[in-house]
Amino acid sequence: MVEHRIPKKALQQRILSKSRVGKCKKRWKDGVREGAVTLLGIQTWKTKATDRESWRQHTDEAKDQFEL
């Protein structure tokens, strides 16, 4: 192939981009866990969330406390 042709340039070209550095994006569960610990004071949010009435009471208290 001739040096100035586009396919030749595309095959020989190097990509100089870098991957992102830092933490991975947070999952939904991570956000809920952080909110449960900081706002509600609950360590085991999965077991507490299964009791819907208790969970609703905890979230309502947090809303009132932090004016959300």
Burial of 36 (0-12, 13-18, 19+ CB in 10 A): buried
Residue spans of the domains in the chain: they are 30-68
pLDDT digits (tens, 9 = 90+) for 29-38: 888 888 888 8
Taking the model in full, what pTM does it have? 0.47
Q: What is the pLDDT of residue 26?
A: 79
pLDDT at 19: 65
User: For residues 50 and 60, what is the distance between their CA atoms, to the nearest angstrom?
Assistant: 16
CA gap 42, 44 in Å, rounded: 6
